[in-house]
């Protein structure tokens, strides 16, 4: 017999504010970095500064529109979440997202964090099912999961999540160094770190079964960024610019 669990009514409302608050600093930092690179690469000419009163409102409008569209898309994804538990396996299904199926005998651990989020970990790093705390009938769900595998409590976060802002600041600093600095050593070291980080991010997102297809497809834009970084490094390290 299959036991199916879905997100409770208005469950997305509980995480919407957190998502917006987490997204805004990242977008602002990225936009600010882009403006800084553009300004310094133009040698700080006054004509560029005069354009800012027109450019900044456009950027703010684009950011607001992008956040609105992004949040609505995440809402659709979140509310389509389905968890199915049967006699043999645990299945997670979600709109435009790869299906995950973990047989009972391949479950390594089931972890619950202080926020009530459950994580089921299978035999590989790609076989991970996250269960939001906004799931319906959490008591019944935990009862079923306990019969399959003990649930352990943990407040540990992945390193990339724990120091998310730090990693973002490092990436943006490397980007600024590559595009603004004329010091070959700084450009070389910053560019190498940036290429490794962007390449690793592309690989991890593409293989992650918990990320939707649109986000994965959007990661191909990262290839253009990589080519831009590599091209800028080549020109600066060879003294052509």
- CB of 151 closer than 8 Å to CB of 145: yes
pLDDT at 48: 45
pLDDT at 47: 46
CATH number 2.60.40 is the correct assignment for the domain at 82-157 = no
Residue 137 C-alpha from the chain's centroid: 28
Distance CA 73, CA 80 (A): 11
Q: Which residue in 29, 78, 28 sits closest to 210, CA to CA?
A: 78
Q: Is the pLDDT of residue 187 over 90?
A: yes
- CB of 211 closer than 8 Å to CB of 201: no
Q: Which residues of 55-72 are buried (b: 16+ CB within 10 A; e: fewer)?
A: eeeebeeebeeeeeeeee
Range with lowest mean pLDDT among 17-21, 102-106, 185-189: 17-21
Pairing of strands 151-153, 109-112: parallel
- Condensed to tens digits (0 to 9), the pLDDT of residues 128-179 reads 999 999 999 999 999 999 999 999 998 887 777 778 888 888 888 999 999 8
pLDDT at 55: 59
Strands of the sheet containing 128-131, edge to edge, are 128-131, 118-121, 109-112, 151-153
Q: Is the pLDDT of residue 82 over 90?
A: yes
Query: How much is the pTM?
Result: 0.82
Q: In this predicted model, which residue has the larger pLDDT, 61 or 192?
A: 192
Q: Which residue in 53, 58, 51 sits closest to 31, CA to CA?
A: 58
Confidence band for 43, pLDDT divided at 50, 70 and 90: low
pLDDT at 56: 62
Residue ranges per domain, the chain? 82-157, 158-241
Phi, psi of 117, rounded to the nearest 5 degrees: -80, 130
pLDDT at 218: 87
Distance CA 103, CA 17 (A): 35
- What is the CB neighbour count within 10 angstroms for residue 49? 11
pLDDT at 51: 53
- What is the CB neighbour count within 10 angstroms for residue 138? 16
β-bridge partners, 93? 82
Confidence band for 121, pLDDT divided at 50, 70 and 90: very high
pLDDT at 62: 73
């Amino acid at each position: 017999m299959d036991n199916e669990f879905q997100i409770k009514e208005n469950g997305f409302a509980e995480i919407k504010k957190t998502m917006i608050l987490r997204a805004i600093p990242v977008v602002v930092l990225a936009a600010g970095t882009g403006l800084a690179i553009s300004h310094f690469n133009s040698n700080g000419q006054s004509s560029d500064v005069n354009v800012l009163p027109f450019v900044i409102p456009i950027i703010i409008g684009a950011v607001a529109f992008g956040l609105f569209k992004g949040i609505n898309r995440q809402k659709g994804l979140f509310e389509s979440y389905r968890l199915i538990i049967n006699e043999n396996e645990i299945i997670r299904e979600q709109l435009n997202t790869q299906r995950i199926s973990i047989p009972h005998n391949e479950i390594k651990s089931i972890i619950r964090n202080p926020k009530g989020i459950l994580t089921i970990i299978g035999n590989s790093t790609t076989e991970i099912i996250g269960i939001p705390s906004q799931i319906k009938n959490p008591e019944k769900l935990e009862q079923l999961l306990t019969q399959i595998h003990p649930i352990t409590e943990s407040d540990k976060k992945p390193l990339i999540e724990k120091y998310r802002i730090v990693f973002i600041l490092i990436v943006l600093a490397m980007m600024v160094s590559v595009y603004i600095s004329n010091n070959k050593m700084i450009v070389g070291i910053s560019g190498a770190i940036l290429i490794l980080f962007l390449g690793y991010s592309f690989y991890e997102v593409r293989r992650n079964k918990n990320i939707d297809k649109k986000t994965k497809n959007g990661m191909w834009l990262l290839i253009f960024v990589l080519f831009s970084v590599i091209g800028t490094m080549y020109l600066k390290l060879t003294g052509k610019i």
